[in-house]
Structure 1
Amino acid sequence: MGTRGDRLEPLPLRRRGTVDYMRMAGRRSTVHGLVELDVTEARDRIETNEEETGEQISFTGFIVFCLAQAIDDHPHINAYRDWRGRVHVFADVDVNVLVETTIQGSRIGVPHVIRAANRRSIHSIHDEIRTAQESPDPTELSRWSTLALRLPGVIRRHVWRLPQLFPRRWKSMAGTVSVTSVGMFGNGGGWAVTPTNYTVQLTVGGISRKPRLVDGELSTREFLDLTVTFDHDVVDGAPAARFVQRLGELIESAHGLPNPKGE
């Protein structure tokens, strides 16, 4: 077979960090739960609020807000084991969220940590996400970052062992929980399953329209496909199930969003 049109391209230096992260994350004892949540009320409130006030509220910001509130109700989810076998339970829920921004003229997702999201309003979280999206193009790596990414892989990957060795250092660098919004890059339903270095991670998938009985009547509703990933070394099945139930209640009730009905 011919090779006309083929080309060789260098692997971007930043990509090495992603490769290292995924390789180390794959060694953790992760358990994935695929859930489907009715977000009709939440999306209606977001749309109505924008029509009436001109104020936009990001759907990702809403998910981050509900996640932080659910963890506040189940604080032992927000924890890591250290190298001495102790469990560090953090009071602040620092959410590492994927935001879409411009890098070298292309729109891609980059991580940003929202600190103490459990003590923030939904509007505050939304404003921070928007600020991160509009931040300057972060294409230039610092001198130390460039040197670190040029180290041999076996050395670089020790960075991603921080949550298992030094949880406080991991928190200051990357937060305590993670939200990655894969669904914002496409249309339709669908789940995504990915390894993670976090004790808890939400992977926001697609949104699809399906029939559902509401108050005895069949209606078309919007359902969010959400993957909830846990580190089973830290979180057992029963606490995880209770946390997911609480998270679902908050999301389906449109918790924290303005209610135009005044209820």
Structure 2
Amino acid sequence: MSQDFRLPDLGEGLPDAELVQWLVAEGDTVSLNQNIAEVETAKAVIELPSPFAGVVGKLHHAAGDTVEVGEVLVTFDGGGDAAAPAPVHEAPAEPEEEKATPNLVGYGAAPRRSARPQRRARVARGDGSSAVDTAVLEAAPHDAIVEQPLERPLERPRSTPPVRKFAKDLGIDLALVEASGVTGLITRADVEAYAARVGAAPAEAPATAAAASTPAPRSGDRVTRTPIRGVRKHTAEAMVRSAFTAPHVSTFHTIDVTKTMRLVASLKADRSLEGHRIGVMAVAAKAVCLALGRNPSLNAKWDDAAGEIVEHHYVNLGVAAATDRGLIVPVIPDADAMTLVELADAIRELAGVARSGKTPPAAMMGGTFSITNFGVFGIEAGTPILNPGEAGILGLGSVARRPWEHKGKIALRDVMTLSLSFDHRLVDGAEGSRFLVDVASVLEDPGRALLMR
């Protein structure tokens, strides 16, 4: 009996998704809830678990295809709770009490399992391909498998789609690459380091770093065309909608942040705070939360449908993050209730997840105000565009040592520019200016935070 697995509603209300890559091939035996594919919606890359156990009969789409919700993704032979008889490489059948039902939207909820289903283990050939199953190796004489360099782990190595593509272009099996960081995520630098050790080269022709992430132009082409998909498409639509719906006003304020930089340096030297990485971004986030409490019009929403202005009595702080797939704005819920250390940890965690491409869609919803840090690129000021549904966004410029008037004299000070964009339907110039001055007062003298509530 065959079973069709259709692309489910992923819980975002989005009509389709792009197939990033298959994690299985036709003929593979999969277990219930084993991840079989990665798809990219307008908001995030999501791994799809299989709602059936059985053998992959047919993959109906190729990587790069846009699949509508409800379209057949894959057909299983022997699908359902009772899988087909296991071949030599299939994991042993589960005990009756451990069998589960699928847990995808539209397929019902799964009961708790005592063990997580795994991909069938394989080992890597010297040429970077993988085909020999663990069970087969265990049955073979030892001298027959000496040339196999390393057995794959049970779980697929953690990395991002661009890194996986880069490794594939070099002919490198990611199961052989060791992650250098504490998160266990394999980075491009890890792949490059491994390639340098083994002398790996692209399978077809030498490629530059840029060529690994962008389509190579055909000979004689004067332009390169890349389909507008995924996060970049969603971001473009949101920004156009925001720019032509909310009347933007931007204002700027250049300030002396020498005291904040000294505070940050002292906190980094504090052994009790080791590992928290409290930086200017965290101090600015705390200043924003305090300033929004004093200027609530910046923490409001224009509700056209209801004909109302909705003022929030909490701060869900959006933090813009540049990723390989485009700009995303994950949200820190109830940021106004957090300490400086908690804000720093939350920002660090959001940035790490965003760079891995695994930010869940729910983490990018419900923001009430946003901040963006273009100072990390050496930019002094800009005019950020509002995140749809929010009244304001604060841009942080780079911090630079400059001659500055201080206590009646010219001295070298740490100086930065704040850039505030706001919705003029909700915020007038005086309110926007007061908010910016309140943020600046904390960054100029962090001790003033003790006087604000």
User: What is the TM-score with the length of structure 2 in the denominator?
Assistant: 0.45
Residue 439 (structure 2) pairs with residue 253 (structure 1): no
String of CA shifts for 1:200-224, please: whole Å, max 9, x gaps: 1101122222212222232111111
The one-letter code matched in structure 2 to 1:115 is P
Task: Provide the rounded CA distance (Å) in 1 between the counterparts of 2:440 and 2:267.
Answer: 22
Residue 380 (structure 2) pairs with residue 190 (structure 1): yes
- Native 8 Å contact 2:300 2:312 kept in 1: yes
1:172 shift after superposition = 8.5
Q: 1:66 to 1:231 in 2, by over 3 A?
A: same
How many equivalent residue pairs? 225
Residue 287 (structure 2) pairs with residue 69 (structure 1): no
- Native 8 Å contact 2:394 2:420 kept in 1: yes
RMSD: 3.0
Task: Provide the rounded CA distance (Å) in 2 between the counterparts of 1:66 and 1:36.
Answer: 16
Q: 1:216 to 1:132 in 2, by over 3 A?
A: same
SS of residue in 1 equivalent to 2:320: strand
The one-letter code matched in structure 2 to 1:224 is M
- Native 8 Å contact 2:277 2:345 kept in 1: no
- Native 8 Å contact 1:94 1:171 kept in 2: no
1:252 shift after superposition = 0.8
Task: Provide the rounded CA distance (Å) in 1 between the counterparts of 2:359 and 2:367.
Answer: 21
Equivalent of 2:319, from 77, 81, 97? Answer: 97
| Structure 1 gap segments, 5+ residues each | 146-169, 258-263
Task: Provide the rounded CA distance (Å) in 1 between the counterparts of 2:334 and 2:420.
Answer: 20
- Native 8 Å contact 1:122 1:256 kept in 2: no
Equivalent of 1:234, from 426, 430, 433? Answer: 426
Task: Provide the rounded CA distance (Å) in 1 between the counterparts of 2:364 and 2:356.
Answer: 20
Task: Provide the rounded CA distance (Å) in 1 between the counterparts of 2:357 and 2:428.
Answer: 40
Equivalent of 1:45, from 263, 269, 274? Answer: 263
Residue 278 (structure 2) pairs with residue 32 (structure 1): no
Task: Provide the rounded CA distance (Å) in 2 between the counterparts of 1:191 and 1:238.
Answer: 21
Q: 1:178 to 1:8 in 2, by over 3 A?
A: same
Residue 233 (structure 2) pairs with residue 16 (structure 1): yes
1:256 shift after superposition = 8.1
- Native 8 Å contact 1:70 1:250 kept in 2: no
> What's the counterpart of residue 417 of structure 2?
225
Deviates further, 13-22 or 206-215: 206-215
Q: 1:211-222 residue pairs with structure 2 within 5 A? A: 211-222=403-414
Q: 1:157-196 residue pairs with structure 2 within 5 A? A: 173-184=365-376, 186-187=377-378, 189-196=379-386
Task: Provide the rounded CA distance (Å) in 1 between the counterparts of 2:267 and 2:335.
Answer: 22
> What's the counterpart of residue 342 of structure 2?
124
1:244 shift after superposition = 1.6
String of CA shifts for 1:87-116, please: whole Å, max 9, x gaps: 111100111012466x58xxx764221111
| Structure 2 gap segments, 5+ residues each | 1-218
> What's the counterpart of residue 156 of structure 1?
none
Q: 1:65 to 1:256 in 2, by over 3 A?
A: farther
SS of residue in 1 equivalent to 2:425: coil
SS of residue in 2 equivalent to 1:240: helix
The share of aligned pairs that are identical, in percent, is: 21
Q: Which gives a bigger RCO, structure 1 or 2 (Cα 8 Å, sep 6+)?
A: 1
String of CA shifts for 1:186-240, please: whole Å, max 9, x gaps: 23x5211132132011011222222122222321111112111110101122222
1:133 shift after superposition = 2.6
Q: 1:212 to 1:172 in 2, by over 3 A?
A: closer
Q: Which has the higher helix share?
A: 1
The one-letter code matched in structure 2 to 1:195 is I
